[in-house]
Structure 1
Amino acid sequence: MRSIRAAAVGAVTMSLALAASACGGGSSSGGSDDSPKTLTYWASNQGASVAIDKQVLQPELDKFEKQSGIKVKLEVVPWSDLLNRILTATTSGQGPDVLNIGNTWSASLQATGALLPWDTKNFGRIGGKDRFVDSALGSTGADGKDPAAVPLYSMAYALYYNKEIFAEAGIDKPPATWDELIADGRKIQAKGKSVLGAEGANVSENIHHVFVFAKQHGADFFTADGKPDFTNDKIVAAVQQYVDLMAKDKVIPTGDAEYAQNQSVSDFAKGKQAMLLWQSAAANLKSQGMSEDKYGIAPVPVQSGAPGTGTQINSMVAGINIAVFKNSHNIDGATDFVKFMTSDEEQTILNKAYSSIPPVRNAQGDAAFNTPSNSVLKDTLAKSAAALPQVASESQFETAVGTAVKELFAYAAGGRAVTADSVKAALEKAQQQMPAA
């Protein structure tokens, strides 16, 4: 996502979207009288800028037009606007034919009824469901329902560390646990360097990290029947542990409480901070002038032991899905475009460009996805990543809890105490913002 998503504050409520689900999305190219040889496509901003995305995507869209005779009108939508644009499209009927969505939104957007379900027949039109890796399919919609979208780019969080700063501090390997990271931080600070970059004002980054901490505490934000459970003791402890990296452990600088737009990536690339928790950051770091030989990549720390299943989860299943508005005036062409974008060849080209991992099994065999750094990401996705809750209120959950964490970071930066009680109060406020079942 950036590839990282900025906070997508849902000004359009899901209840409104549900009420208007009969409208669905629609072709913004003007209606049924338009040429069936034209599709509109909203792509998410994956690269360092919208201009870079256009440079990556347009040659591929031209290739599709040459093969199919169908012209694709491209719009790259910033993450700060994408969710609201999509929700507005579901209520107005004025949307694209094909669009990218953050994979964590799949169940929420599925609940609007606006997206084409990917049943056995539709998956068959793009080569079959078994072409895709299981972890990516786990973030395509609610359990027991046909997926609302198809995996396009897969990503995972990793720990990026500056080799030179580590060497200067006498650290010979990256930390495997949070205790080790804090201990290494003391050595790094003794050399006058900042330790760990974060985006305290980035709502999406916040929810991704506290979701992982919750898993490491053996907790879930929702009960088995889909009800929010934000204030249970394990969730409170998980959120407090993350915020304490700034408030108590002092390894995240207080200035990072205001970061929301890749500033921590920039600081890391410039050698201002020794470590960074980010998802599939290679392309982003390269665009900031940092060569791959300057940093190492390791799994995100866990509480103890090695990353794995259960409480050793160390990443959410990050990524982008591609979806079709089901009232598109060219469903066949839209489906053909999804088939093209998820073909082995295009998966290799596009995921190389964005330093992401193909969710298509065959494309993962390319040498580019088997470098030491990409092997860490692939291994994480296969063994120690979990999908965010696939519930209809997922987008509201991201906004409410992510904002609560943002406020807690602001407290920490301002010198206010971050206690179990203050964390619980913030989470209770977030839970009250969730829609009624």
Structure 2
Amino acid sequence: MNKHKIKLYSALALTVFVLGACNSNELGGSSNENEISVWTMSGGLEDFVSEFEDETGMTVNVQTIPWSNAHDRLLTAVASGNGPDVLQIGTTWVAEFAEAGTFLDLSDHLADYENLSQDRFFESAIDTTNFEDQVIGVPWYVDTRLLYYRTDLLAEVGYPDGPTTWDDMIDASRQLADRGDGQYAIDLPTEDPQFPFILAWQQGWNYDVDLGSANFDDPAFEEAIRLHHLYYNEELSQMGEGKEFFQAFEEGSKPMFISGPWDIRTLNERVPELEGQWDVHVMPEAVTNDSMIGGAHLSIFHNSTKVDQSLEFLNWMAEPETQVRWYEENSELPAIMDAWDNPILADNTMVSTFGEQLTATQPLPLIPEFERLGQELIKTLEQINRGGQDIDQAIEEYKATVSRILGE
């Protein structure tokens, strides 16, 4: 048994002590055959499922759990064996909870439901539902990252349609930063542990689970770290928070940033006066232009007594029309490819660019430790960019930390 499993099972054992304060109705579902329980971290689902209830005559009891509480709540459910029928799971939690036996294996059920065939979803999204020969869930919505940019200001430096390659990106960034004091090119994500791995994928790096810490010997990984450092060393990106994010974009002192689909709506609401002066672009290319794929799945708890009813619900949630309506209400992107033919997405050039990027994405490796590896990499970059640590030395120290985390 590896160290991670020992720690997880110890946490589960400790969690049992709190179960005396929780009754079965709080932890699990109803005994009514026409009623299923759903745990979600996404607001608005309770009202959204009313159409499914009208169509089927079933009742869906939705409990919305804050993301900050969700991990412990799931641990409690696993420890007690008394969870919901259907649960939302973030892609980065799949490995941890799959190892603990949280999910019903859906492998033998998918063929019976029209919308659940795995070839209907983006390939990278499906990759995050397959764990050790089991299918632990169905993609609900997906997430990726694009480059947001001011079209007017990028036109002034020769890139009206946005930079296509990292060479273009560096050239444009240097020109933008040369405009004067307090002028930068881009607001890089400083606290997103996935972003450094996106840079590494674009340099041709890939993570092989069997290699462990040796993955970080790859020169492509070092190239990504050096690229990241260049932006702070040359003051193309500001070290420190600086002006409020949308103010800096509006005034043009930071005319580029990297983010997800929700910021289309946010920009339209926060800075409507910029309409027509900004756009989105797929990620710049080096060896690849791969971005991350994230999002969430809907899974069935391993000992649910309402498997057929739960599968019917998952099938409804995976209907293209359902996924488009969910996007309209929550700005969360459909995971099923057919949904992208809908004019609501296809005729919106910004949204459809996210669809284009979703065909060039990678999932984070499905190992329980990868979130920690990401957080440690953020610390390493801080030591390089702010503390002046030598890059080669920092990578060696990071590899040693990775080796300890993986229990090598």
* TM tier relative to shorter chain: 0.7 to 0.9
| Cα distance in 2, alignment partners of residues 429 and 87 from structure 1 | 26
**Uncovered stretches (5+) of structure 2, i.e. residues with no partner:** 17-22
Shift of 1:431: 2.9
Q: Deviations over 1:280-330 (max 9, x none)?
A: 242343454456633211111122xxxxxxx31421223221111121243
Query: For the Cα contact (< 8 Å) 1:27–1:40, is it kept in 2?
Result: no
Secondary structure of 1:212 counterpart: helix
AA partner of residue 365 (structure 1)? D
Shift of 1:128: 4.1
Secondary structure of 2:109 counterpart: helix
| Cα distance in 2, alignment partners of residues 378 and 368 from structure 1 | 12
1:231 aligns with 2:207: no
Query: For the Cα contact (< 8 Å) 1:28–1:95, is it kept in 2?
Result: no
Distance 1:268 1:95, change over 3 A: farther
1:138 aligns with 2:120: no
Distance 1:134 1:408, change over 3 A: closer
| Cα distance in 2, alignment partners of residues 32 and 156 from structure 1 | 33
Q: Greater CA deviation, 230-239 or 336-345?
A: 230-239
1:282 aligns with 2:272: no
| Cα distance in 2, alignment partners of residues 198 and 243 from structure 1 | 9
Query: For the Cα contact (< 8 Å) 1:108–1:395, is it kept in 2?
Result: yes
AA partner of residue 146 (structure 2)? A
AA partner of residue 380 (structure 2)? L
Shift of 1:428: 2.1
Distance 1:128 1:339, change over 3 A: closer
Secondary structure of 1:297 counterpart: strand
**Uncovered stretches (5+) of structure 1, i.e. residues with no partner:** 1-11, 46-52, 304-310
1:406 aligns with 2:381: no
Shift of 1:254: 0.8
Q: Greater CA deviation, 316-325 or 98-107?
A: 98-107
Q: 1:374 aligns with which of 351, 365, 379?
A: 351
Q: 1:299 aligns with which of 276, 279, 282?
A: 282
Shift of 1:241: 2.8
Q: What is the correspondence of 1:59-208 to structure 2 with a 5 Å cutoff?
A: 59-125=47-113, 127-129=115-117, 130-142=119-131, 145-167=133-155, 169=157, 171-192=159-180, 193-200=183-190, 202=191, 205-206=192-193, 208=194
Distance 1:388 1:419, change over 3 A: same
Distance 1:271 1:39, change over 3 A: farther
| Cα distance in 2, alignment partners of residues 71 and 81 from structure 1 | 25
Distance 1:30 1:83, change over 3 A: closer
Query: For the Cα contact (< 8 Å) 1:152–1:342, is it kept in 2?
Result: yes
Q: 2:20 corresponds to which residue?
A: none
Q: 1:7 corresponds to which residue?
A: none
**TM-score, normalised with respect to structure 2:** 0.83
Q: 1:362 aligns with which of 338, 341, 366?
A: 338
Query: For the Cα contact (< 8 Å) 1:254–1:412, is it kept in 2?
Result: no
Point out the structure with max Rg over C-alpha. Answer: 2
Query: For the Cα contact (< 8 Å) 1:357–1:364, is it kept in 2?
Result: no
Query: For the Cα contact (< 8 Å) 2:12–2:75, is it kept in 1?
Result: no
Q: Greater CA deviation, 161-170 or 264-273?
A: 264-273
Q: Deviations over 1:112-145 (max 9, x none)?
A: 21101111324523544143343321221236x1
Q: 1:396 aligns with which of 369, 386, 392?
A: 369
AA partner of residue 206 (structure 2)? D
Shift of 1:350: 0.8
| Cα distance in 2, alignment partners of residues 113 and 265 from structure 1 | 43
Aligned residues: 393
Distance 1:266 1:427, change over 3 A: farther
Query: For the Cα contact (< 8 Å) 2:146–2:281, is it kept in 1?
Result: yes
Query: For the Cα contact (< 8 Å) 1:98–1:322, is it kept in 2?
Result: yes
Query: For the Cα contact (< 8 Å) 1:16–1:91, is it kept in 2?
Result: no
| Cα distance in 1, alignment partners of residues 338 and 24 from structure 2 | 32
Query: For the Cα contact (< 8 Å) 2:92–2:364, is it kept in 1?
Result: yes
Query: For the Cα contact (< 8 Å) 2:27–2:83, is it kept in 1?
Result: no
Distance 1:31 1:211, change over 3 A: closer
| Cα distance in 1, alignment partners of residues 214 and 77 from structure 2 | 31
Shift of 1:35: 3.2
Shift of 1:270: 7.0
Q: 1:420 aligns with which of 382, 392, 398?
A: 392
Shift of 1:376: 2.1
| Cα distance in 1, alignment partners of residues 80 and 227 from structure 2 | 40
| Cα distance in 2, alignment partners of residues 89 and 247 from structure 1 | 44
Distance 1:396 1:246, change over 3 A: same
AA partner of residue 49 (structure 2)? L
Secondary structure of 1:403 counterpart: helix
How big is the alpha-carbon RMSD for the aligned residues of Structure 1 and Structure 2?
A: 3.4
Q: Deviations over 1:126-172 (max 9, x none)?
A: 544143343321221236x1311101112322111022332455643
Q: Deviations over 1:368-401 (max 9, x none)?
A: 221322332222222x2222223xxx231122x2
Query: For the Cα contact (< 8 Å) 2:90–2:296, is it kept in 1?
Result: yes
| Cα distance in 1, alignment partners of residues 320 and 158 from structure 2 | 44
Query: For the Cα contact (< 8 Å) 2:282–2:356, is it kept in 1?
Result: no
Q: What is the correspondence of 1:1-20 to structure 2 with a 5 Å cutoff?
A: 14-17=5-8
Shift of 1:86: 2.8
| Cα distance in 1, alignment partners of residues 37 and 30 from structure 2 | 15
Q: 1:217 aligns with which of 185, 193, 203?
A: 203
**TM-score, normalised with respect to structure 1:** 0.78
Q: 2:238 corresponds to which residue?
A: 253
Distance 1:168 1:133, change over 3 A: closer
| Cα distance in 1, alignment partners of residues 278 and 355 from structure 2 | 18
Secondary structure of 2:394 counterpart: helix
| Cα distance in 2, alignment partners of residues 87 and 156 from structure 1 | 27
Q: 2:46 corresponds to which residue?
A: 58
Percent identity of paired positions between Structure 1 and Structure 2: 23
